[in-house]
Chains A and B, each alone.
Chain A
Amino acid sequence: MSAVVISAENLTKRYGRVVAVDGINLAVRRGEIFGLLGPNGAGKTTTILMLLGLTDVTAGRIDVLGFDPVRDPLEVKRRIGYLPDSVGFYDNLTARENLRYTARLARIDRSEMDDRITSALARVRLDQVADRRVATFSRGMRQRLGLAEVLLKRAEVAILDEPTSGLDPQSTYELLEMIRGLKADGVAVLLSSHLLDRVQSVCDRVALFHRGRIALQGTVADLAREVLGGGFTILVEARGTDTAALAAIPGVRQVTDEGDGRFRLMADADLRSEVASRIVSGGGTLLRLNMLDPSLDAIYARYFEGARDAA
């Protein structure tokens, strides 16, 4: 198991009487993409600001690469690249000038500054527009410029707040690819999003936020097993078969007839080939056979359904 780069214990933030973040525990390891997921106002951004030392911590302990962001924010911020929610740049300056300002603030050595800026811009494919004013940039280009800033700092940890919000599908795809690129460089990535399915594909592990608490934490597969009952859901569309025949397959726990020759099977394992051979050998016609991947949306919806019922 690789080294933990961010750890938070019992982290709490109160604004007056309102508890924004309520005693959360987190551990992000080197080289993984960790997703903070949850609806708006669940405490994701507040958690991120506390990790960066940009807002006071009410209670709890944080360790970022061996430094405490409350006492030593400069060392922490030197090592972390941060892409804020809907990032802004100085519109009157060009992309290159904006990055140069960041580079000076981050005290990057003057001799290598220009090379690092050029290569960072090239990696996010903004090298063609490097000397255009940021005022002319689209939202997707601004997000990419924000990512270039993270690359420029050669950060060990990248914290990205809602990196894909407000982007069209093409830009989202490109940005997620670039985030995967960061991971390939060995950077630990912590990203937050309220769009569960979008980021599901890139995250190694996720934490689901709900009202300032982490409701669930782990890999998507773990969470699916925990919340959805660990089963496999198989969708079958066939003619000449019935519920009884499908339920008789060993390993099938439950069969729901959805009408019009469509069935939903809950099974203990991936039984697609058994299902297919049973239907065909029984003289039926198999029209469609599909296994559903566990989706974060389903996990989230199911979990909070359960939580609401319990309450």
Chain B
Amino acid sequence: MRRKGSPWTGLAPVFLKELADHLGSARMRVLEWLVLLTGIAAVYTAIREIGTVTAQDPFLLLRLFTHARDPLPSFVSLLGFLIPLVAIGLGFDAVNSEFSRRTMSRVLAQPIYRDALLVGKFLAGLGTLAISLVALWLLIVGLGLLLLGVPPSGEEVLRSFTFLVVTLFYGGVWLAVAILFSVLFRSPATSALCAIGLWLLLTILWPILVPFVVQAIIPPDPAAIILGVSSLEQIELQQTLARLSPNTLFGEIVLALLHPSTRALGLVFPAQLQGALLGTPLPFGESLLLVWPQITGLIAAVILLFAITYVSFQRQEIRA
């Protein structure tokens, strides 16, 4: 039996209302300041360093994003750490708060489908992330122009803009995770805890666990033990498992996009390097091609998580 009417009816009002809620909320303000301050701190130290050391670098703008100096990590690694936090903060109570405020049945009694409510909430979260990220990106490019005095090349702008888009998808993954938990758990505290727990697991614990998992699945072969290195299968499995974490995917994409000289992300045999000019930057298209699977993976993760959220939300009983 097919239902009549468009699932998108009412999407625009939901989107605009949620966006306004996000942008006006105290929570958002705190998260924005967090991102902004850490970002400026990282970039400022990077600029001072770059100004004295690498005057001849053709990718000065990109250095702003990736330069790290103790004790501060680089801007991108800070972002990789903070974006999930912001996304979880935006999404962890998206659906269950409607139940706890007892507004769900009232809103769904209006002529809209549940689709519009869920999609509207997701897009509003993504929109909020996009607005903050674009502002941050412009701030950095502007700071770079002011303090370095070197105009960025077209390729630099292209690379950093692609980085911006990818960061948005990376945030989208965590937003989808947070909204999924907000559908599954009626208590916002539980859903926040689960989302942050999953984030800690994938970001901090997973990289530590992967080698042990690999050892358990593929026992090391004796020759490799004698040489003190891992076997080829082990390394490949290790990489595959590590890539289950969106953090790893994001890290690899950043590496390829913002370090144009990156040529490969896995094992490279000497034969494959024949004729290569090590250290020379790849053109933008080649860099993009290198991490295209990772980018697709991130987008697929967003879609998959959203689909699971959608199905479980559709099956949920509305009465609180």
Contact = CB atoms under 8 A, between A and B. Distances in A.
Nearest to A88: B102
Interface stretch (B49-57, B73-81, B105-113, B152-160): B105-113
Given A73-B3, A88-B101, A105-B111, A149 B319 contact: no
A71 B3 contact: yes
Interface in A43-79: 45-46, 49, 52, 54-55, 70-75, 77-78
A89 B10 CA distance: 18
Would you call the interface of chain B mostly helix, strand, loop, or mixed?
loop
B102 A52 contact: no
A106 B101 contact: no
Contacts of A72: 3-5
B113 A73 contact: yes
Interface string B95-137: 0000001110111111111000000000000000000000000
A46 B318 CA distance: 10
For the complex of A and B, the 6 pairs showing the least CB-CB separation, nearest first, are A88-B102, A104-B13, A74-B5, A82-B109, A105-B110, A78-B111
B109 A80 contact: yes
Given A49-B319, A106-B110, A71 B102 contact: no
B101 to A, nearest CB: 5
A86 interface: yes
A114 to B, nearest CB: 15
Contacts of A84: 102, 105-106, 109
A91 interface: yes
A176 interface: no
10 contacts: A71-B4, A73-B5, A82-B106, A86-B102, A87-B106, A88-B101, A105-B10, A105-B14, A105-B107, A106-B110
Interface residues of A, number: 32
B111 A54 contact: no
B17 A75 contact: no
B319 A55 contact: yes
Nearest to A76: B111
Interface of A: 45-46, 49, 52, 54-55, 70-75, 77-78, 80, 82, 84, 86-92, 101-102, 104-107, 146, 149
Given A49-B319, A72-B5, A149 B106 contact: yes
Q: Which of B107, B108, B112, B113 has the most CB of A within 10 A?
A: B108
B1 A70 contact: yes
Contacts of A88: 101-103, 106
B25 to A, nearest CB: 8
A54 B108 contact: yes
A89 B103 contact: yes
Contacts of B14: 105
Nearest to A52: B109
A107 B111 contact: yes
Contact of B112 (A45, A74, A80, A82): A74
Contacts of A70: 1, 3
Given A72-B3, A107-B111, A146 B13 contact: no
B70 interface: no
A51 to B, nearest CB: 11
A192 B107 CA distance: 20
Q: Which of B10, B21, B105, B318 has the most CB of A within 10 A?
A: B105
B319 to A, nearest CB: 6
Given A84-B109, A104-B10, 5 more contacts: A54-B109, A74-B9, A82-B106, A89-B103, A102-B106
Contacts of B107: 102, 105
B19 to A, nearest CB: 13
Interface string B1-43: 1111100011011100100010000000000000000000000
Q: Which of B9, B105, B110, B112 has the most CB of A within 10 A?
A: B110
Interface string B189-230: 000000000000000000000000000000000000000000
Contacts of A74: 4-5, 9, 111-113
A36 to B, nearest CB: 15
Contacts of B103: 88-90
Contacts of B12: 104
B101 A91 contact: yes
Q: Which of B5, B14, B109 has the most CB of A within 10 A?
A: B109
A92 B21 contact: yes
Contacts of A52: 109
B101 A101 contact: no
A102 B5 contact: no
Contacts of B113: 73-74
B13 A105 contact: yes
Contacts of B108: 54
Contacts of A106: 110-111
B111 A49 contact: no
B118 to A, nearest CB: 14
A88 B13 CA distance: 19
Q: Which of A73, A74, A146 has the most CB of B within 10 A?
A: A74
B140 to A, nearest CB: 32
A49 B113 CA distance: 14
Nearest to A97: B17
Contacts of A86: 102
Nearest to B10: A105
Nearest to B16: A104
A90 B17 CA distance: 11
A107 B105 CA distance: 18
A182 to B, nearest CB: 16
